[in-house]
Chains A and B, each alone.
Chain A
């Protein structure tokens, strides 16, 4: 891969992960456990889809094939999607929703913190704006993990189940592959070893405060999202999300 292709591949991970998690949160519209949470979830979803759009626009420019952000989002199939597997996991109960959000937010926060100092100015600019939003996402999801973990017996059980259910998808957040390493080496993305340490450190700290137990660092991990090898869920997400663009291929405007 050329440097440019590596950068595109890396940015698509960010874009697709934001997009798919945003889409999952959209599914919760009208179904949150309190009206105030309805506001908060849609707020996070709006931020994520907005960030996805920014990344897609940059990828489309780098690509220079005449594809735009919408075509990247709505006309690629699952094997071309590079989102982290955790983002495509179903909403489950609110404990699962918050566990997924928390694991992702911690990764997102430290990743963006690295990207803010990127040698690529465009990346640094998009990340700086996103970091403000994600700092708030992380604050909210950490608080919810603590509330549910250290709330009632039932909420503790559900929250621990949520952590256990999703833990196998967290390896992908912190295990660097070639693309991650080359991006870090080029000074574009965060230091991979530091990202791993930061993620583990903060997750353990919050879980401990929440009276929850993390799984061991060497637990088995489900990988593949970064290479386009997804769980069964993504196909259905895309079928719904891309329905109009696929059903009306001749439509030029919407």
Chain B
């Protein structure tokens, strides 16, 4: 029998913040997914905006690729402002 599909739900809790993943809902179409997400994840005034995405559309990195994907950025300290020491006289930058 045809069952509803899974959608991942993202909520923007306040203006100015990113949408954050909160969980999933089942729905027959995107419009219903949006309403089901509203009814489920914003019962306590938690959101100002919602995204729903078919779960099948998400490509995720596997946890075991962590070393390959993320460790290389660990030693690139020059991406962080604190790496650059300036004389105090320069003031705030």
Which A residues have a C-beta under 8 Å from some C-beta of B? 34-36, 39-40, 43, 139-140, 143, 147
B31 contacts A by Cβ under 8 Å: yes
Interface of chain B residues 3 through 25 with chain A (CB within 8 A): 4, 25
User: Are A36 and B31 within 8 A (Cβ)?
Assistant: no
Count how many pairs of residues, one from A and one from B, have CB atoms less than 8 Å apart in the complex: 25
Closest Cβ of chain A: how far from B28's Cβ, in Å? 7
**25 A–B contact pairs at CB < 8 A?**
A34-B4, A34-B26, A35-B26, A36-B4, A36-B25, A36-B26, A36-B27, A36-B32, A36-B36, A36-B39, A36-B40, A39-B36, A39-B39, A39-B40, A40-B35, A40-B36, A40-B39, A43-B39, A43-B43, A139-B35, A140-B35, A143-B31, A143-B32, A143-B35, A147-B28
Interchain CA distance A153-B76 in the complex, whole Å: 62
Closest Cβ of chain A: how far from B35's Cβ, in Å? 6
Q: Which residues of A contact B43 (CB under 8 A)?
A: 43
Q: Which residues of B contact A40 (CB under 8 A)?
A: 35-36, 39
Q: Which 4 A-B pairs have the closest CB atoms?
A: A36-B36, A39-B39, A40-B39, A43-B39
Q: A140's closest neighbor in chain B, by CB?
A: B35
Pick from B26, B28, B35, B39 the residue with the most CB of A within 10 Å: B39
Which B residues have a C-beta under 8 Å from some C-beta of A? 4, 25-28, 31-32, 35-36, 39-40, 43
The A contact surface, by secondary structure, is helix
Closest Cβ of chain B: how far from A101's Cβ, in Å? 14
Q: Which residues of B contact A140 (CB under 8 A)?
A: 35
Q: Which residues of B contact A39 (CB under 8 A)?
A: 36, 39-40
Q: Which residues of B contact A147 (CB under 8 A)?
A: 28
Closest Cβ of chain A: how far from B61's Cβ, in Å? 30
Q: Which residues of A contact B26 (CB under 8 A)?
A: 34-36
Q: B38's closest neighbor in chain A, by CB?
A: A136
Q: Which residues of B contact A143 (CB under 8 A)?
A: 31-32, 35
Interchain CA distance A144-B31 in the complex, whole Å: 11
Closest Cβ of chain B: how far from A69's Cβ, in Å? 24
Pick from A34, A35, A36, A143 the residue with the most CB of B within 10 Å: A36
Interchain CA distance A143-B29 in the complex, whole Å: 11
Closest Cβ of chain B: how far from A74's Cβ, in Å? 27
Closest Cβ of chain A: how far from B32's Cβ, in Å? 7
Closest Cβ of chain A: how far from B30's Cβ, in Å? 12
Closest Cβ of chain B: how far from A21's Cβ, in Å? 18
Q: B31's closest neighbor in chain A, by CB?
A: A143
Interchain CA distance A143-B43 in the complex, whole Å: 21
Closest Cβ of chain B: how far from A2's Cβ, in Å? 41
Given known contacts A36-B39, A39-B39, what 7 new A-B pairs fall within 8 Å (CB)? A34-B4, A35-B26, A39-B36, A39-B40, A40-B39, A43-B39, A143-B35
Q: Which residues of B contact A43 (CB under 8 A)?
A: 39, 43
